[in-house]
Structure 1
Amino acid sequence: MTTYVLIPGFWLGGWAWRPVTDALRAQGHDVYPLSLTGMGERAHLAGPEVDLEVHVTDVLNLLRYEDMTDVVLVGHSYAGAVVITAAADRMPERVAKLVFVDTGPLPDGVSQSEFDEPDEQAATAELVKEHGDGWRLPPPPWEQLAAGVDLDGDVVKTLVELSTPQPWATATTPVSLTGAWEKLPRVGVLCGFTEEQARGMAAAPMFRHMAGDQWRFEELPTWHWPMFTRPAELAEILDRAGTR
């Protein structure tokens, strides 16, 4: 039996992991799908003050108050890029492995927003200003993103109904890392690229943590949100991550 903490990326809450959670629990694992502050059922706590540090503290408090050890921390997108690494960096003694779902760890001092090209950063900042009261990023047009994707219409409807604006300070706060997390083994779930491409990215300073013997990669060709398109296969990958 393995203990998993599942953390979604932008706009989503713990509800996004439901099919994956059910599949892992059916295998006898303990699973904690986490809604970060201001997201999912905790949307009422959103505000301009909610930044990356708040989200990292969400994870740390879960580990502490549930007295978890040997945890597999799973982060999708933003949660993998900065949240799980920062949490593991502060409590490495409680974490057994890190799983990055269609993402990779950003280095110390880099924010999630810096992952985008400058023109895209400017466009997003304008969107936050004009349509997010200056502090939140509205959810994307899910119907457009899902066009051409093998995705049940009810899932798209759920995404539209349950996704919430992302507090923008979570994206602009630089991640603070000491390097303690780097000792931990890692699994990369690759949805939009191959293992060869992932390892090649390590040549760029932004992606230097994609290299090393700590990594094992699993290719899952699908949409950026595999918990909706291929939840059973994603659960199988996570099951292997917990037993290998």
Structure 2
Amino acid sequence: MNDFLLYLRYISVSFKSQMQYKVSFWLQFIGQLLGTAVEFFGVWALFSRFNSIGKWTLNEVALFYGIINISFACADALGKGFDSFSTIIKSGDFDRLLVRPRTTALQLLGKEFTLKRIGRLFQGIFVMCWSLSSLHIPLTFKTLWLLGTSFFGGVALFVGIVIMQATITFWTIESLEIMNILTYGGVETAQYPLAIYSKWFQRFFTFLIPLACVSYFPLLAVLEKEDVFLVPLWFCYVSPIAGIIFLIVALQLWKIGERYYCSTGS
């Protein structure tokens, strides 16, 4: 509980520091909002030309688009400290974190809460609400459970991926840009139903990186199309747990990386 209160204190300090320059914040917010709006415009242009992708309509794909962007926006804001970990390693500032009486993971999560990500967050919420409204999906307990667990599972998954990227930096020093295939590439992938991809691709993002478990399966139940992927209905309700498990594994790997660390020698 003490760690949780400390983390809230970290966020409060981050808010105050970023709001010192309000014009800069609002410009970044608008930039994020317009940038993600252009992304959805691309999805809309695709459907305006072809009407549907297989059995999927724009309204249905918009639900996938909305929930994955909401999850990624929050994860991106939370994981900024891990995302910039290579600079901390090279400057030797990680030594300072090691001598403090708190876990390094907590300190990096609290390093910066990036407010400008709420531009993507708001845009994702708007698209998701439009999708639910146009599909006439009522906000029952079942729907709220599926959307809520999908959100939390997605946040946990993306934070876990960023932590793994930072963990590799203990050995490589430089952050590997190839990991962006799983972060930004994962967002692009999950904006569409997984059924449209080839089988090996579906297996990769189901069993190795459980992107399908946190996004695709629960939304199949929301749309009442779980038979498309031949999964039992009960699995759609519990599959987002895979994102939390992925985060726990990433934190364990982070501890292994910490034991390997031997400072910069500066």
TM-score range, shorter chain: under 0.3
Q: TM-score, normalised by structure 1?
A: 0.27
Higher helix share: 2
Higher strand share: 1
